Amino acid sequence: MRPKSKDDLIEAANQKFAELWEQIAKLSEEEQQAPFLFDEAFLAKKKETHWRRDKDLKDVLIHLYEWHQLLLNWVQKNQKQEKSPFLPEPYNWRTYGQMNVAFVTKHENTLLSDAKSFVYQTHEQVISLAEEFDNAELFEKEKFDWTGNTTLGSYFISSTASHYDWAIKKIKQSQK
């Protein structure tokens, strides 16, 4: 069930984050470093580009890290009255897939150990940032002009629990 309060948001984010690391812990070091080998028949059925974009666990973790960064930067800038969209220029909600590909390219030489560290750090930063807001600020629409018609909490959920659930499913699928 989608969180509807600050406590539920933080609990869901932390629970899914723990589940993500439990899933990773089930993998040997070799499996963690290995490329994803999704079967072509499986890929042919999948429309989402991420199935071909993310080549390994590192790419998945980097994706989570970069989306944490998007949230952190967006909230912090707007809190300082620096009007800023969630997605950085030149991207928008029609072209964010290109941004996700750019994240993979940007981190081609990032080590898995660094990606793990980055995600741990930014998860903690996102949770700390969520703690700064009350229920109304997180879950009332139009509480902030910079969130548009969406609640601030929805952005936090999307960047944490929902994204962690996506990562868990992807990692599980890579082991089939």
Q: Where are the domains of the chain?
A: 6-12+50-174
Predicted pLDDT of residue 40 = 75
Dihedral angle, C-alpha 62, 167, 19, 42, nearest 10 °: -140
Confidence of residue 50 (pLDDT cuts 50, 70, 90): confident
At 107-144, the pLDDT tens digits run: 999 999 999 999 999 999 999 999 999 999 999 998 99
With a CB cutoff of 8 Å and minimum separation 6, the contacts of 160 are 9, 12, 13, 16, 17, 68, 123, 126, 127
Alpha-carbon distance 162 to 140, whole Å?
19
Residues 6+ apart with CB under 8 A from 27: 57, 171, 175
Question: What share of the chain has pLDDT > 70, as a percent?
Answer: 99
Name the phi and psi angles at 35, rounded to 5.
Answer: -70, 150
Q: Is 120 helix (H, G, I), strand (E, B) or coil?
A: helix
pLDDT digits (tens, 9 = 90+) for 20-47: 999 999 999 999 999 888 777 776 787 7
pTM of the model: 0.94
Q: Can you identify the CATH homologous superfamily of domain 6-12+50-174?
A: dinb family like domain (1.20.120.450)
Q: How confident is the model at residue 60 (pLDDT cuts 50, 70, 90)?
A: very high
Q: What's the average model confidence in pLDDT over 83-108?
A: 95
Question: What is the reported pLDDT for 140?
Answer: 94
